[in-house]
Structure 1
């Protein structure tokens, strides 16, 4: 990785960390410069505005999370149940380790829904892609009505990740997982 790429990577990571804790609009460029050790001029050399930086951060995390979900879906060693279990257990571990602050995309969408089309588009696309990937996984495991089941199941998952930062109650993960599995495996 080039020095430029390392700088950009650090800026994106720190932006995500600060924004998920403080909100996107509650995160200042001064705070970002303090945490990264880079000047505003350096940050603005790579990102022409705070909104462009946020869009780039969301794009980066969208690719990262999508890549991880694709790897899980394509793991032929795991059953469908095991793949679902892994998603929920990873979330549980983040909550238990106090490393889960909410969903980058839900937060960004709520803050920018009427203000920045690029940011809201990235959030909407990520949500859509996640449902499509789950539908693909269900198709691979020959689950009937995969698209509708994926849509309903991911609605449960989205509700869970919206609720966890408020309650921090890991029992909610078990409840949501039960609901998720019901959407996937129950006869419709």
Structure 2
């Protein structure tokens, strides 16, 4: 019995191609012509699905959010059986991510760097992503017995973000390991 192969819609082709190109080359450096060409569609088709490049950027960020966050959380959940173990596994999974050939940093951090308008829809999507990740960490902190789950989540999220930027900018292969070491001490203090 063969597996069915689903053909992506033109819109999905555009979004997935945009994610790859934006990650690799940046948002402003990637033009709609390149996205249309790599997607195998015309510019007219692109604009039939997205009124502007900003709409395509938003769709790409939302798509990436769903795929990345779900994949990341699933890997964390599979890596450890306890909430405390999962808090540390966040950094193990991050280390795997940092070592991938296609690691270009966090797409949301990169987007905020390129779209500086404080109240833009792009910044809002980026902020929502970061909030959801921190919410997951906070949930684990509460389950691990932290006296102040929000405070611990803020500390761990800051270490996580710092590890991402350090891995990207300094290309330090030990960024996640360093953050994990610091996290272990914070978790111990917050749960004892």
Aligned to 1:14: 17
User: CA deviation digits over 1:85-120, x for unaligned, max 9?
Assistant: 433233322333312111010011111121761101
| Structure 2 residues not aligned, in runs of 5+ | none
Aligned to 2:94: 91
The answer to whether 1:153 aligns with 2:151 is no
- Listed as ranges, the matches of 1:15-164 within 5 Å are 15-68=18-71, 71=74, 78-114=81-117, 117-164=120-167
Count residues in correspondence.
187
User: CA deviation digits over 1:50-71, x for unaligned, max 9?
Assistant: 0000011111122233334554
With structure 1 as the length reference, what TM-score do the two structures score? 0.86
- Listed as ranges, the matches of 1:164-183 within 5 Å are 164-183=167-186
| Structure 1 residues not aligned, in runs of 5+ | none
Evaluate the alpha carbon distance shift between residue 32 and residue 115 of structure 1 in structure 2; reply closer, same or farther with a 3 A threshold. Answer: farther
Evaluate the alpha carbon distance shift between residue 97 and residue 80 of structure 1 in structure 2; reply closer, same or farther with a 3 A threshold. Answer: same
CA RMSD of aligned residues (A): 2.5
User: CA deviation digits over 1:133-181, x for unaligned, max 9?
Assistant: 2111111222221111001110111111112122222112211111222
Aligned partners of 1:46 and 1:2: how far apart in 2?
A: 20
With structure 2 as the length reference, what TM-score do the two structures score? 0.84
| Kept in 1: contact 2:76–2:93 (CA 8 A) | no
| Kept in 2: contact 1:150–1:184 (CA 8 A) | no
Aligned partners of 2:104 and 2:111: how far apart in 1?
A: 13
The range that moved more, 13-22 or 81-90, is 81-90
Aligned partners of 1:14 and 1:87: how far apart in 2?
A: 28
